[in-house]
Amino acid sequence: MRYAVHSYLGVIGYDWDGRCCRRVVLGDEDALPPGDDGVADWLAGYLRGEVMPLPPLAPPATPFQQRLRAALWAIPWGTTCSYGALARRLGSSPRAVGQALAANPLPLLVPCHRVVAATGLGGFAFGAAWKQRLLLHEAGLEG
Q: b/e string for 45-71 if b means 16 or more Cβ within 10 A?
A: ebeeeeeeeebebeebeeeebebbbeb
Distance CA 61, CA 115 (A): 20
12 phi and psi angles, rounded to 5 deg: -115, 105
Residue 20 bears catalytic tag: no
Q: Which of 139, 140, 141, 126 is nearest to 10 (CA)?
A: 126
User: One of 20, 21, 81, 112 is an active-site residue; which one?
Assistant: 112
Active site positions, annotated? 112
